[in-house]
Amino acid sequence: MITSRRFFLSGATALAASLVAARANAQDVLGDIFKTAGNWDDTFDARANASSKVASTLPIFSPQTVNYTEQAIAQYQNIVAQGGWQQVPDTKKLQLGVSDPDVVPLRQRLMVSGDLPQSAGISQAFDSYVDSALKRFQLRHGLPADGTTGKYTFAAMNAPAQARLSQLQTNLGRLRDKVGTLGDRYVLVNIPAAQIEAVENGRVVLRHTAIVGKIDRQTPIVNSKINEIIVNPYWNAPVSIVRKDIIPLMRKDPNYLKDSHIRLFAPDGSEVDPMNVDWSTEDAVKYRFRQDPGTINAMASVKINFPSPDGVYMHDTPQQSLFGKLMRFDSSGCVRVQNVRDLVTWILRDTPGWDRQHFEETIKGGQNTPVAVTNPVPVHFLYVTAWSTGPGVVQFRDDIYHEDGVDSLQITSSL
């Protein structure tokens, strides 16, 4: 019994010692992992560092945005005074789980811009904190927040700090010029961001992705009022599209107009048979090209009208896939609106009889139906490539139409 008891006690002591040793070894291993990661700091929540700190209901044109943009200018003046940021090597794809020497300059770059806190530390590990910080950076630059360093992310990241400062200074003037002049309820199309804000009482109530004009067919600056909604619209092709698109298409395919449900009308209003037109010349520009309402209509379900010297307007589109593109500069100057029915419902809010249900039923009916807006809503097409909606939340977009005067800011259009 005594021998057995001593054996048991000695065995238990050895087992306890081995467990302590194993636990200590495990702690050493975990410690090494933590040191390698370099950013396991409980004071910083990676999950809360991306979209939640970038998304805002603050309108681009608001007094608060002006104040935040002034703060951003001071921040970037300091960055420039400190020598800017170093270039991040753009030779390889970096993403969650990677351990690579290039993650070190990536971390440093994200720290300089405030996307990654200093407490995250420096290491070669692309962990969840770097992933969240990179997504935050991408959101601020209008890029898909996929947490992967592709060519557009590298290009935005390596734009010189001085160029970003100049961009902020240029756009501060644009903000100051318009803040307080747009009204309490309005629609803003920010052209370089290809985005729409519906603003009411100092707050963005709707935000829509847009398609705007190509570089060679630019969307103009507009300050007008939405006075009409056309449900199931006809589409009348502008002369520019007739020349650049329709005539060349008819030369290739004589059935193009018929297949597209586009009719030709002479100046006197009589319909013209396309087969009687000489498409080898530009004589066709004297005719009116009208597409019937329907699913393939260029404006799809609805057109948003307002007086404009350039003849532009906003509308739906049958090409919904275009809204998923990074480069949403595909129109001939007009603005296509994603989820346009939500915006139209908001515009028609004060127009008797035009609630969402009646609007949807009218679309299903397929008949061309103009609707006068009871209280015309101001609409503004403006050009802003840099602004800030909160401390450290500095938004940048490409200077797609070369209006900022800095060559290094036409990033996506030059790649």
380 assigned to active site: no
Distance of CA 276 to the CA centre of its chain: 45
Query: Which strand (E) or helix (H) includes residue 307?
Result: none
Q: Is 363 in a helix, a strand, or coil? A: helix
Spatial contact of 66 and 172, defined as CB atoms under 8 Å apart: yes
218-250 pLDDT, tens per residue? 999 999 999 999 999 999 998 888 999 999 999
Q: Could you tell me the CA-to-CA distances from 148 to 40, 151, 266, 290, 395 in Å, in that order?
A: 21, 10, 55, 45, 19
pTM for this entry: 0.82
In whole angstroms, what is the distance from residue 281 CA to residue 250 CA? Answer: 11
Tokens, residue 366? 């397929």
pLDDT for position 9: 39
pLDDT for position 45: 46
Topology at the third CATH level for domain 48-165: Muramoyl-pentapeptide Carboxypeptidase; domain 1 (1.10.101)
Quickly count: other Cβ atoms within 10 Å of residue 259's Cβ: 9
Q: Which amino acid is at 16?
A: A
Spatial contact of 396 and 268, defined as CB atoms under 8 Å apart: no
342-384 pLDDT, tens per residue? 999 999 999 999 999 999 999 999 999 999 999 999 999 999 9
Q: Which amino acid is at 50?
A: A
In whole angstroms, what is the distance from residue 219 CA to residue 223 CA? Answer: 13
In whole angstroms, what is the distance from residue 95 CA to residue 153 CA? Answer: 12
Output the average pLDDT for the chain.
Answer: 88
pLDDT for position 397: 97
Q: Which amino acid is at 162?
A: Q
Query: Strand 185-190 relative to strand 369-382: parallel, antiparallel, unpaired?
Result: parallel
Tokens, residue 201? 């009482």
Indicate the pLDDT class of residue 412, thresholds 50, 70 and 90: low
Quickly count: other Cβ atoms within 10 Å of residue 254's Cβ: 13
Tokens, residue 388? 């800030």
Q: Does residue 395 register a pLDDT over 90? A: yes
Nearest CA among 150, 126, 146, 149 for reference residue 135: 146
**Strand locations in 214-324 (E):** 222-231, 235-236, 262-265, 271-272, 288-291, 302-305, 314-315
Q: Does residue 11 register a pLDDT over 60? A: no
Q: Which amino acid is at 294?
A: G
Please give the full DSSP string across 76-101, using - where no structure is assigned. Answer: HHHHHHTT--PPPP-SS---TT-B-T
pLDDT for position 240: 85
Q: Which amino acid is at 349?
A: R
334, 358, 380, 402: the catalytic one is: 334
Q: Where are the domains of the chain?
A: 48-165, 185-234+293-415, 236-292
In whole angstroms, what is the distance from residue 412 CA to residue 152 CA? Answer: 6
Percentage of the chain lying above the pLDDT 90 cut: 79
334 assigned to active site: yes
Nearest CA among 293, 300, 294, 305 for reference residue 347: 305
* Least confident residue range of 49-58, 61-70, 235-244: 49-58
141, 208, 261, 315: the catalytic one is: 315
pLDDT for position 408: 57
Spatial contact of 103 and 126, defined as CB atoms under 8 Å apart: yes
Topology at the third CATH level for domain 185-234+293-415: L,D-transpeptidase catalytic domain-like (2.40.440)
Q: Could you tell me the CA-to-CA distances from 89 to 101, 131, 352 in Å, in that order?
A: 10, 17, 59
